Amino acid sequence: MQFFSTPSFNVKRKSPIKWALSIVTSSVLMGALFSNAALAKEPVQEVQYDKKYKTILGQKMAYIDEGKGRPVVFLHGNPTSSFLWRNIIPYVSNTYRAIAPDLMGMGDSAKPDLEYTYSDQAKYLHGFLDSLDLKDAILVVHDWGSALGFHYARTRPERISAIAFMEATLPPYFPMPSLEAMGPSADFLKNVRTQGLGEEMIMKNNILIDQFLRYSNPENPMSDNVIAQYNEYFPNEKSRQPLLQWLREIPIGGTPSNVHEIGLKNNQWIIESEIPKLLFYVTPGVLVPEATVKYMEDNAKNIKTIGLGAAGHFMQEVYADEIGAGLAQWLETINTQKQLTKH
């Protein structure tokens, strides 16, 4: 499974840090990471949302809360925020209650002095979702938001009744069996998991946003305005600790063990659960290649898949309208099915 493409370099003339950074920079410029073959589209006018706040375990969590009706909860991942969903929320907020939290240490949520492990993030996010007293809610999830969302839906079946996901942590490739199995991605993931080197790459040089996210489509990078909004929430090195820790929480070879075990349980649930599921996918994608789509279609119960075309990991920046329209149609379908079941 390839997440990060890392071409060969002569490392004898470079320090380990400079070598790692040169690998990353070249990967981005070559369009190997999160490569979007389709041009990223920036709408003429984007919706700006006021946020609300809830205090969870003594810390404020920020969230968008628009519309009324059945709750639709959008969960982002790394290195983004609820801003990722800004152009998709309007497709549901006229008919549903659209909720989009910022994970702890990200977006407008508080930035307490935490390690920002998966367990930390789950504790705050799941506490926040519990505080909403959700009933019959639908989750829409991406990246680490998918692992957190699958975990929540699996352990709170009385609250969640359907789930849509994209570039998600899915079987059969997640959790990862070993670094070696990652192919060209192995060097990058090894480097960010190395003390000192990872801090230099992610926290000091901010490559996750300034390069990986910005150049997700190298032929048409995200605009200055869009990338500035993503960067606004991480103004200094310390604020980027969650971004680094998320990379170190990727379960590889059984480590971290708790995230590995949660991933296995989530996989079993996503396959066996009867609740309606919607998978958006792109080509080539990053977390969800063609083989994963086929695996899900062949094995998961009650699943619909929608192919969007050429893109990489951050498909919301390319196909916001298509995701919004497809999500709205699917929601209408499952609502109709629910009404028919009642009668």
Per-residue pLDDT of the chain (343 residues; tens, 9 = 90+): 445 433 332 333 344 444 344 444 434 433 334 444 344 444 445 778 999 999 999 999 999 999 999 999 999 999 999 999 999 999 999 999 999 999 999 999 999 999 999 999 999 999 999 999 999 999 999 999 999 999 999 999 999 999 999 999 999 999 999 988 887 778 989 999 999 999 999 999 999 999 989 987 665 678 999 999 999 999 999 999 999 999 999 999 999 999 999 999 999 999 999 999 999 999 888 899 999 999 999 999 999 999 999 888 899 999 999 999 999 999 999 988 877 776 5
Q: What is the pLDDT of residue 47?
A: 75
Q: What is the pLDDT of residue 45?
A: 53
Q: What is the pLDDT of residue 218?
A: 64
Domains and CATH numbers, the chain: 11-342 (3.40.50.1820)
| Residue 223, helix vs strand vs coil | coil
Q: What is the pLDDT of residue 27?
A: 42
Task: Point out the residues that are catalytic.
Answer: 143, 167, 313
What residue type is assigned to position 22 of the chain? S
Bridge partner list, 139: 73, 163
The Cβ of residue 126 has, within 10 Å, a number of other Cβ atoms equal to 17
Sheet holding 137-142, edge to edge: 51-56, 59-66, 97-101, 71-75, 137-142, 160-166, 277-284, 303-311
